[in-house]
């Protein structure tokens, strides 16, 4: 597998070309501002300690403090974190929130750790990066396998060094200054985005069957919200397999089944299928809410959906993206469709700075405004300049970052 960063940089380069960016600025936006690599020593429950590698990549902060989640996964590499830090930069710009982009990660399979070991790992990571972050500098958040509880431990660890300041990290438990609606925000944001598109196409919700790859936080919330709106959720999958029901799956019951058994597979009343069948099912919308590079050259020509919604980060490779465009499949890109999480992180940060706690409706209304505006801008730009949604989203996102850089004097 090639470098994910090089692949995603291609999307950026195309936008830089379209925008006619000066060469020096183009170069400045093609690489990260800073990369921090850390060694984490974590005492085990049985004596001794284990060593893990962690990173925080701060990509660009022309529009505001660096911002982005932290993932715990056995496949994490600096190339991957760099990729996501770049995506966060274009995502926060497209969502029009006053942040730059960053990402962090630890190479670990969190499933092999006890709760106490996970806490020690989370605290060790925060101690290692604490000097490089801060409420006006770089604000981490949850991502794959990281939870509000982990954000709580990290907030506490930061406060031991610098005093309590809830705005240093988002996605926290409510009692520590977290925001109502943050947990569901990535899924809700994707739903708002899809709603705009479905309305623009004149489709009816009831006749828009949806299949969802990935049933973690984002995928399961999206399923619950779309089902409430009236969309049939015909299939969902996780790393162990997929479940299908032509009449629609009850999203909350599937989640309860996954919590009980560890997987969506064997959900009563549904057909269990191999994982990869999710990509080729008969449906109108295929949601990619798992990990990167799910749709590649090997399966892009099997996609039957008319729309792919990228709720995960970088789920479609550039080769697959071209194949899908040629086949007339509309891809709603990650920097748009996954922007709801960081949008509500922004609202959490604002509440923390003001020492306020907003009602959930207020949070969701602001999310709807932010996501609605970004989606409309992408659709309008795509139409007026005959671009794909990804091309339009990048032109807007990269354009805003470039504009901020120029206003700072980098011309």
The binding site for ligand GLU (CB under 6 A) comprises: 67-69, 141, 143, 170, 313, 338, 341-342, 345
The least CB distance from residue 341 to ligand GLU, in Å, is: 4
Q: Judged by CB, which is closer to ligand GLU: 67, or 188?
A: 67
User: What is the tally of helices (H) and strands (E) in the chain?
Assistant: 13, 12
Q: For the CB of residue 243, give the shortest distance to ligand GLU in the complex, in Å.
A: 26
* Contact (CB, 8 A) for 316 and 292: no
Distance CA 289, CA 220 (A): 9
Which residue's CB comes closest to ligand GLU?
69
Determine whether 103 is an active site residue: yes
70 Cα distance to chain centroid: 11
Nearest CB to ligand GLU, comparing residues 141 and 233: 141
Rounded Cα distance between 346 and 241, Å, is 34
Alpha carbons 272 and 288: distance in angstroms, whole number? 19
Nearer to ligand GLU (CB atom), residue 119 or residue 143: 143
Residue with tokens 């623009």: 200
Query: How far from each other are the two terminal CA atoms of the chain, in whole angstroms?
Result: 36
Residue 133 or 382 having the CB closest to ligand GLU: 133
H/E stretch holding 119: helix 115-129
Closer Cβ to ligand GLU, 334 or 391, answer by number: 334
Question: Under 8 Å CB-to-CB from 93, ≥6 apart: which residues?
Answer: 63, 396, 397, 398, 400, 401
Report, in Å, the least distance between residue 395 CB and ligand GLU.
20
| Active-site annotation holder among 91, 103, 172, 258 | 103
Nearest to 242 by CA among 209, 281, 206, 204: 281
Shortest distance, position 181 Cβ to ligand GLU, whole Å: 12
Residues 6+ apart with CB under 8 A from 46: none
Please report how close the Cβ of residue 205 comes to ligand GLU at its closest, in angstroms.
26
Catalytic residues: 103
């Amino acid at each position: 597998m090639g470098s994910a960063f090089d692949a995603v940089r291609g999307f950026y380069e195309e936008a830089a070309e379209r925008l006619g960016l000066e060469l020096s600025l183009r170069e400045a936006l093609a690489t990260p501002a800073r990369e921090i690599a850390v060694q984490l020593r974590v005492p085990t429950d049985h004596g001794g300690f284990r060593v893990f590698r962690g990173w925080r990549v701060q990509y660009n902060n022309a529009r505001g403090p660096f911002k982005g989640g932290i993932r715990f996964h056995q496949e994490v590499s600096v190339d991957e974190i760099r990729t996501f830090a770049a995506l966060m930069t274009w995502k926060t710009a497209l969502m029009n929130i006053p942040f730059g982009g960053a990402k962090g990660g630890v190479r670990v399979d969190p499933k092999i750790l006890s709760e106490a070991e996970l806490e020690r790992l989370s605290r060790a990571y925060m101690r290692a990066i604490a000097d490089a972050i801060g409420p006006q500098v770089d604000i981490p958040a949850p991502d794959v396998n990281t939870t509000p509880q982990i954000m709580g431990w990290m907030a506490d660890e930061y406060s031991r060094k610098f005093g309590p300041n809830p705005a240093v990290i988002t996605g926290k438990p409510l009692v520590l200054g977290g925001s109502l609606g943050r947990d569901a925000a990535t899924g809700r944001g994707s739903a708002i985005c899809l709603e705009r598109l479905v309305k623009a196409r004149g489709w009816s919700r009831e006749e828009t069957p949806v299949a969802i790859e990935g049933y973690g936080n984002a995928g399961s919330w999206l399923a619950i919200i779309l089902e409430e709106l009236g969309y049939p959720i015909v299939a969902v999958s996780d790393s162990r397999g997929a479940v299908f029901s032509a009449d629609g799956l009850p999203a909350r019951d599937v989640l309860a089944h996954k919590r009980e058994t560890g997987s969506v597979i064997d959900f009563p009343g549904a057909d269990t299928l191999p994982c990869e069948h999710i990509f080729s099912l008969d449906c109108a919308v295929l949601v990619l809410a798992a990990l990167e590079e799910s749709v590649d050259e090997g399966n892009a020509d099997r996609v039957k959906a008319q729309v792919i919604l990228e709720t995960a980060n970088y789920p479609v490779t550039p080769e697959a993206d071209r194949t899908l465009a040629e086949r007339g499949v509309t891809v709603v890109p990650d920097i748009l469709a996954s922007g709801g999480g960081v949008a509500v992180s922004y609202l959490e940060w604002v509440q923390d700075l003001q020492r306020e706690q907003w009602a959930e409706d207020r949070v969701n209304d602001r999310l709807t405004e932010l996501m609605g505006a970004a989606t409309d801008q992408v659709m309008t730009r795509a139409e007026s300049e005959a671009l794909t949604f990804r091309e339009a989203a990048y032109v807007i996102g990269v354009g805003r970052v470039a504009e901020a850089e120029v206003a700072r004097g980098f011309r």
